Amino acid sequence: MLQQTGAGHATHCPYCALQCAMTVTAAPDDDGVTVTGRAFPTNRGGLCRKGWSAGELLRHPDRLTAPLVRNGVGDLQEATWDEVLHLISDRVRSIQAQHGRDAVAVFGGGGLTNEKAYTLGKFARLALRTSRIDYNGRFCMSSAAAAGNRAFGVDRGLPFPLADLDDASVVLLLGSNAADTMPPFVQHLRGAQSAGGLIVVDPRRSATARLTDQGRGIHLQPTPGTDLVLLLGLAHVVVAEGLEDGRYLEARTRGYDDVVRGLARWWPERVSGITGVPAATLRATARRLAAGARSGAAGGPGAYILTGRGIEQHADGTDTTTAAINLALLLGLPGTTHSGYGTLTGQGNGQGGREHGQKADQLPGYRRITDPAARAHVAAVWGVPEAAIPGPGLPAVELLASLGAPGGTRCLFVHGANIAVSAPDASTVISGLRSLDLLVVSDFFLSETAAMADIVLPVLQWAEEEGTVTNLEGRVLRRRAAVPPPAGARSELWVLQELARLLAAPSLFSEDPETMFDELARASAGGIADYSGLDYTVLDGGEPAYWPYPAGSTGTPRLFLEAFAHPAGRALLVPVSPRPDPVGARAPAPLLLATGRLLEHYQSGTQTRRVPELLAAQPAARLQLHPATARDLGIAHGDPVVVTSTSGEAHALADLTPDIRQDTVFLAFHYAGAGSANLLTGSATDPVSGMPEFKTTPVRVSSLARPVRPAGAGRLEAIA
């Protein structure tokens, strides 16, 4: 169904989890597509540069329009759909007969619609009969999800509508450069800015940090890797000065005593020595948050704590996010009407993508795959014996480490991800991909991963398909077809349906997204992420639909107002502490690399590097470093540089800016080849969430244009 708005069709942006509403209009001669913003609570008609230019990709000359198969001399050549589907099914059977069922694996993506994510999980477990499935959300939201589930019993990015932020007097934003990554979000911070209460934690003076200028807030610029210590210091001040909400803690939480005992040693002066944030600033920040919390409790403008990837993409990301949640609970923020805590989901369907079966340890509805009741429920919906559903698989980094290894993965299906660029320790991942017996990639462009594949399947883009996504608020949205696809491309639902048929899979596989959504709703019934009261008719009706949305309900815009999803309805305060010597952990390299995003690009750049105006604005990898650091290294602005870690090396152009700490460098992860930031990152992961360490990789930097200064009495030696 194409829902028309004037001359165009109403849908949502293909990029971030803000899911800005837009209208897509195709030219009468089918020569081009234009995009305009549409009124919606998250974007209110605005779009970012990526959103405005999204239509250019729908008629791009690089578009894949026929299946590709690697021939005997190593080249990809066109084939028919019938040929490639039979080839895939034959090869899968052969590989599993020789190496076992788990020799075949699936890697999904947080950009897939709910219907595709759900069907992909079902396909892995029933058609491929493998436990080996995970997805790129493991690199994005896993620490926040683990911390949210641990504290609240539920993981929903924002447990309140985004518009609730408009009336806040204080917003503490940790580890998010939202002004660049989701620009329309910034309008929701204006109330806090006007009140002088926007507090941004970032080792860079990013576009978001600059929103605090001119008395509009506070920018805290800690040493990378010390966010957990910073949060413990803020919580210490709250408790030491009696700023916590005692009534709230008594009525709605448990674990207070254990957490407070652990806070005793994190007094501001000690925290300042580790983080570099002045003790006076720590005290002022805690007091400002507490004042906002008191105002919110009295029905006035309240306080919100929001986290992003900057504090989550660490080997201690779950504990760091937990420290932010503990601070919010001490102040009495979660589950109230004028204050709150939340995390900013990144990918377009990062929320829905992790709810319905792509994760190694989950079944639809955010159910644990090891829970007998969950397995029985889903098996009944699928019409299979419970024993037909495999157990938990491997989280993403472990899954990718198994590629080509003895007893590991021999065949990999990739949907909605470009792991040759986006995965940590990229050189090892690329070697693993090359060692596979069969690599099958579904994509609409020949990404770096697709270019390595044995078989490439051309699939539909966002504006060519029906389906649903779930945005950062937990709001389920209809994504509607607005333009016809190229003749040779196929829906991934059709691909999975046909492969399931050839593999003699039990249960239903349908190319009709509405059919798969209806089954998803039944499979999620009674789960944490319950969609059972939703169908396309409800979603097309125009009323907001926030999960959980059990049958007979009208949804849940605000979670936790009455109770948390733990026994007795109480949230759990969890004691956490930093790893030993987080500052010293950077030795022997004197600099810490943080990876991240740019305004103009998205994820691995497969899409945005194909938009001329976006590529022209940011054509190549640039390494941000402080002028004083560059001077010590003999590096000038614009110099080509080589960045080296224990995992590998990458090349970039030097971008000198005073907006970064002298002990820190920053490299965006949107580029491939020698400019790939993930050639530098390693395989260390959070033991709870499986999140890779993306933000504090020890590196050395040297100029390729000038001789490197000999080691001596320079600033870097002092820093190290």
Query: What percent of the chain is predicted at pLDDT more than 90?
Result: 92
pLDDT at 588: 55
CA separation for the pair 332, 533 (Å, rounded):
31
pLDDT at 2: 41
User: What's the CA angle centered on 90, arms 85 and 95, to 5 degrees?
Assistant: 125
CA separation for the pair 51, 613 (Å, rounded):
12
Residue 4 has pLDDT above 60, yes or no: no
pLDDT at 633: 95
Residue 425 has pLDDT above 60, yes or no: yes
Query: What percent of the chain is predicted at pLDDT more than 70?
Result: 95
CA separation for the pair 134, 354 (Å, rounded):
9
Domains and CATH numbers, the chain: 4-59 (2.20.25.90), 68-140+352-540 (3.40.50.740), 142-344 (3.40.228.10), 584-719 (2.40.40.20)
**Among candidate residues 213, 208, 271, the one with its CA nearest the CA of residue 238:** 271
User: Is residue 700 within 8 Å of 635, Cβ to Cβ?
Assistant: no
Each residue's pLDDT tens digit, 69-83: 999 899 999 999 999
pLDDT at 720: 29
H-helix segments, 402-524: 419-422, 426-434, 492-502, 513-524
**Among candidate residues 90, 89, 116, 93, the one with its CA nearest the CA of residue 103:** 93
Q: What mean pLDDT, rounded, does the chain reach? A: 94
Distance, CA of 247 to chain centre: 35
Each residue's pLDDT tens digit, 368-424: 999 999 999 999 999 999 999 999 999 999 999 999 999 999 999 999 999 999 999
Each residue's pLDDT tens digit, 190-209: 999 999 999 999 999 999 99
Each residue's pLDDT tens digit, 576-591: 999 875 444 445 568 9
Buried b (16+ CB within 10 A) or exposed e, 456-469: bbbbbbbbbbbbbb
User: Is residue 411 within 8 Å of 91, Cβ to Cβ?
Assistant: yes
Q: What's the pLDDT band for 714 if we cut at 50, 70, 90?
A: very low
C-beta atoms surrounding 273 within 10 Å: 12
Each residue's pLDDT tens digit, 204-255: 999 999 999 999 999 999 999 999 999 999 999 999 999 999 999 999 999 9
DSSP 204: B
Q: What's the pLDDT band for 717 if we cut at 50, 70, 90?
A: very low
Residue 641 has pLDDT above 70, yes or no: yes
Average pLDDT over residues 694-720: 63
Q: Dig out the tokens for 390 from the structure.
A: 């495999």
**Among candidate residues 393, 458, 386, 453, the one with its CA nearest the CA of residue 419:** 453
pLDDT at 26: 86
Q: Dig out the tokens for 428 from the structure.
A: 């090892």
Each residue's pLDDT tens digit, 23-68: 999 887 666 889 999 999 999 999 999 999 999 999 999 999 999 9
Q: What's the pLDDT band for 169 if we cut at 50, 70, 90?
A: very high
Residue 709 has pLDDT above 50, yes or no: no
Residue 707 has pLDDT above 70, yes or no: no
pTM: 0.94
Strands (E), 33-98: 33-37, 68-70, 76-78
- Given the DSSP bridges, would you call strands 217-220 and 198-201 parallel, antiparallel or unpaired? parallel
Q: What's the pLDDT band for 695 if we cut at 50, 70, 90?
A: very high
Residue 3 has pLDDT above 90, yes or no: no
pLDDT at 590: 84
Each residue's pLDDT tens digit, 382-398: 999 999 999 999 999 99
pLDDT at 147: 96
Q: By three-state DSSP, how is residue 535 classified?
A: coil
Q: What's the pLDDT band for 8 if we cut at 50, 70, 90?
A: confident
Q: What is the DSSP string of 96-149?
A: HHHH-GGGEEEEE-TTS-HHHHHHHHHIIIIIS--S-EEEGGGGTTHHHHHHHH
Residue 549 has pLDDT above 90, yes or no: yes
DSSP 579: P
Q: Which of 562-571, 637-646, 700-709 has the lowest mean pLDDT?
A: 700-709
Each residue's pLDDT tens digit, 501-548: 999 999 999 999 999 999 999 999 999 999 999 999 999 998 999 999
CA separation for the pair 95, 35 (Å, rounded):
45
Residue 567 has pLDDT above 90, yes or no: no
pLDDT at 230: 98
Whether the upstream peptide bond of residue 548 has omega within 30° of 0, thus cis, is: yes
